[in-house]
Structure formats: C-alpha cells, structure tokens
Structure 1
C-alpha cells in the first residue's frame, strides 16, 4: 500500500490532501481522503504599514486602463451646472411661473390666520378673476356645548402662522399677496449676493401636501370622537345629578306644624317668646311667605326689629330677612 501527499498553497495558504490507493486490482479496500487547510498569514503579519500601503497602491495601478488618482481629481474638479446664467436671473421672481401651478406657504399671524386666509381669497378673486388659485388654511373645528344649551364651533389651526396657496406665482401675484394685511411674506430661501438679497419662495411638493390633507382629516375625526364621548359622559352625569336632587328635596322639606301649636293665643303671648330669641337658636315662622317653616336664627337686630333666619332648601342653606313679629322660638 502506497500513500501520496499533495500540497497546494495559493494566497499564502497550505492545503494538504492524503488518500490511500489499493495495491492490487483484486483486493477492494475503502478509499480514505483527508484534507486540512492551514492558514499561512505569517508573511502578512510581518509586513509593516508602509509595505501594506505599497501593495495596495500596486494593486490599484495594476488594473488596466484605470487610474484611481485621476478619477478622484476629476470628481473634485467637476462643478455643478448652474441653473441661472447670472445672479440677477436668480432674483427674478417671474422665473417661478415656469414651474406651473404649485403650492406655496405664506406666513401670517398666528392669532388671525383664518381671517387672513379669507382676506387673501377675497382679494385674489376680486382683482384677478382670470387666474385659478386655492387658499387652504388647515384647521380642526372643535365643538363645545355652552351653559345656555347652544353649541359653539371654533377652528383650531393645525399649522399656526401658515396658509397654503396654490397658483402660478409670478412677480405681480407675489407682490400683491405680500401687500395684503396680516401677511409676513413667503416661506423660502435667501438668495442673492452682498449687493442684493431676496427671499425666493420655495414650493411644497404634492407628496407633502397629501400628507397634510391626511393629517387634517385624521385630527378632525379624533376631535369629533372626543366630542361625542364628552356628550355621553355629560348625559350620564346629568341623569345622576337629577336623581340626587329629587332625593335631597324630599329630605330637606320642612315639616308642617298643626294649627293648634302655631296659634300664639294658645301657646302664650309672642312677646315673651321673642325675648328668648338668641342667635343660633331654632325658630319657627308663624306668618308670611315662609309660614310654618323651621329654621336657625343667624342674626337679630332689636333696633330695626329684623331677624335673619337660615332655612335648608333643596339641600342648601338659604338666608331670609324677616320681621321679629313673624318668628317665635321653637321649643324642643
């Protein structure tokens, strides 16, 4: 039986293969093959940083027809193509009309954004009836129920201080919108040089406007759902309060006395009982609107012959001014 050993080491790696070959044709022996891969990076480990850079540069230069240094220099020397021939054309607002109808953002007051949007729409329709435009001020209409039972609808701006206008913008329309009351200018970028600078309006993409429309719709739905929940909770609370009020009125209703006990001739003179009136004592009304009601004496003025009596009505204490002759001391 003979054994053979083959060695193959490309890229600084050694591969050894060993296999067994039968000696005779009649004997059948199993064929065994074994392979081992041994990394041979000892040469790379001994290279310095300078040598590694040289090898890298040689590999770059070995590529046929390419020079990486020239490619880098060409990219650095390339200048972006200018959109305008000179700086004066960049300041020309009439060039914005070439883009066609676009959405533009106008800066307005945060407190009067809705009023300013309506004013711009009216003025554009009156002075430029031949142009097509749209004025959009995204807002959430919040509804609230007032104490008198009516409902108030108040718009809440989604983007305070911004109004969106869609039109073909040129210098005439641009200057007209800027001169409207409450307008602070367009949202854009500062262009020009040290001699002259202006704020060039920047259009809003259709994708961004669709996102704004979607956001306004979602916020409006959330506000309506919140209003409906508040209405349901208020209805439940009002039902509970009405039940409590009925119970309290039944409990707080004063008991009526018999006519015999209220007659001052039977019980004695009222003058003697009035002498026993002391603030804080329990008194009973014998005549007048609050006849046969029992309350607590809060204040007594013997000079003016007036007394302040507190009654418990509907679960709350109410103060009433009465004559001293209309009340008597309540005996326990």
Structure 2
C-alpha cells in the first residue's frame, strides 16, 4: 500500500489550529498517533514555524523558542477520512484551518490544503524569519463585518463583529458590546471563531 501512496504523491500541507502553548505537544502526539495507527506513510511532516531567541536574564543567557504563529502547526499529509479523524481527535487540536472555504463531499467536511504558492511563501519566510505568510492565509478565513465569538481570554464567550483584519500581526479588531457600549478590541486570530 505504501508503494501506491508514494506513486500518487498527493501529499498536501494543512494548517492545524492548536491550543496556544501546546504546539510542540501536538506535534509529538500526532507523530505518536500516526506511528501507532500505521499512518507514517500518510502523515509525513509536521512543521512549527519558530526560531530560538537568546536573551540575557539576571546576567545569564537564556534561550527560548519563539513561535511565529502561536496556536498553529503545519501538517504535510494525504487527507482521507482516517487521517483527518486521527489529527482532529488528537488532544490539543482545535481543528483544521482551510486556506479558503471548505467543501462538502459525501457529508464530510474536507479541509482545503494550502496552495503551493502559500507553502513556498511560508517556507521562504522561515528563512527570512518573517512573521507573514500563515497570518495572511488565516486572515483570509475572516471577513470584515462577519460575526465571531471570542473563544479565549477575558472576553471568552462574547460575540462581536470584525471591524479590521491585520494579517501582518495575526490579529483582528472585533467590536464587542461590553456594559452596553460597543468597544473595539484587538485579538489574535486564534482567539476568535466564526459564528
């Protein structure tokens, strides 16, 4: 079977939304589950855009991994019901992000893979240590005037309307009604979901 899959070469990159701070754990869990389920020929690469930042704290050098896109992991895989279900059900995974709208096929929602140009831009940005690329792609998921719900932080559970999208920073400005007043609030893409 793995020979057939290698011949097909239908591997695509997908963006997986994770819980903030669990990016490395999600990578480890997906790798472990792929191995346990005999899917290592279907899920071939997991990439977390990051860099190691060294700073001095109390006179000592401290190295820390800084994620370019907190809450997101890229997975190169062949998408089918089994791989999609395995990734979605991995602890710490919130779901897939499509580069555009998802499509329905036989009742299942199929995430849209990243285009080759988007993948090239993300990996190009890795070398330049730039924070654009994924944010632009995720930002395309949202539209100005769209209703969203805050899913994390002090405004968790509140609904609002998107006023502005800043792909460079990976943030949206959402108008939230607080104490009877409409207040514009800037939030990370990962802190809101469409209604």
Question: TM range, normalised to the smaller chain?
Answer: 0.5 to 0.7
Contact 2:103 2:111 (C-alpha < 8 Å) held by counterparts? no
CA distance in 2, matches of 1:112, 1:206: 27
Instruction: Answer 1 or 2: which has greater helix percent.
Output: 1
Q: Deviation at 1:174?
A: 0.8
Alignment size in residue pairs: 120
CA distance in 2, matches of 1:199, 1:156: 32
> Which residue of the partner structure matches residue 116 of structure 1?
26
CA distance in 1, matches of 2:59, 2:33: 38
3-state SS in 2 of match to 1:159: coil
Q: In the alignment, is residue 217 of structure 1 matched against residue 109 of structure 2?
A: no
Q: In the alignment, is residue 163 of structure 1 matched against residue 73 of structure 2?
A: yes
TM-score, normalised to structure 1, is 0.33
CA distance in 2, matches of 1:118, 1:130: 13
Q: Deviation at 1:142?
A: 0.8
CA distance in 1, matches of 2:26, 2:50: 13
CA distance in 2, matches of 1:103, 1:210: 11
Superposed CA offset, 1:207-226 (max 9, x none): 21121112122128xxxxxx
Contact 1:190 1:197 (C-alpha < 8 Å) held by counterparts? no
Check 1:102–1:145 CA distance in 2 against 1; reply closer, same or farther (3 A cut). Answer: same
Q: Deviation at 1:109?
A: 1.3
CA distance in 1, matches of 2:89, 2:117: 29
Contact 1:100 1:168 (C-alpha < 8 Å) held by counterparts? yes
Q: Deviation at 1:110?
A: 2.2
Contact 1:186 1:201 (C-alpha < 8 Å) held by counterparts? yes
3-state SS in 1 of match to 2:20: coil
1:299-318 → structure 2 map (5 Å cutoff)? none
> Which residue of the partner structure matches residue 184 of structure 1?
94
> Which residue of the partner structure matches residue 141 of structure 1?
52
Tell me, which stretches of 5 or more residues in structure 1 are unaligned? 1-97, 221-332
Superposed CA offset, 1:84-125 (max 9, x none): xxxxxxxxxxxxxx7811111111112222322222223223
- Root-mean-square deviation (CA, aligned residues, Å) is 2.6
Q: In the alignment, is residue 174 of structure 1 matched against residue 88 of structure 2?
A: no
Tell me, which stretches of 5 or more residues in structure 2 are unaligned? 1-7, 131-195
Contact 1:191 1:197 (C-alpha < 8 Å) held by counterparts? no
TM-score, normalised to structure 2, is 0.53
| Larger RCO: 1 or 2 (CA < 8 Å, sep 6+) | 2
Q: Deviation at 1:190?
A: 4.3
Check 1:144–1:126 CA distance in 2 against 1; reply closer, same or farther (3 A cut). Answer: farther
Bigger Cα Rg:
1
1:228-267 → structure 2 map (5 Å cutoff)? none
Q: In the alignment, is residue 207 of structure 1 matched against residue 117 of structure 2?
A: yes
Instruction: Answer 1 or 2: which has greater strand percent.
Output: 2
Contact 1:190 1:198 (C-alpha < 8 Å) held by counterparts? no
> Which residue of the partner structure matches residue 148 of structure 2?
none
3-state SS in 2 of match to 1:105: strand
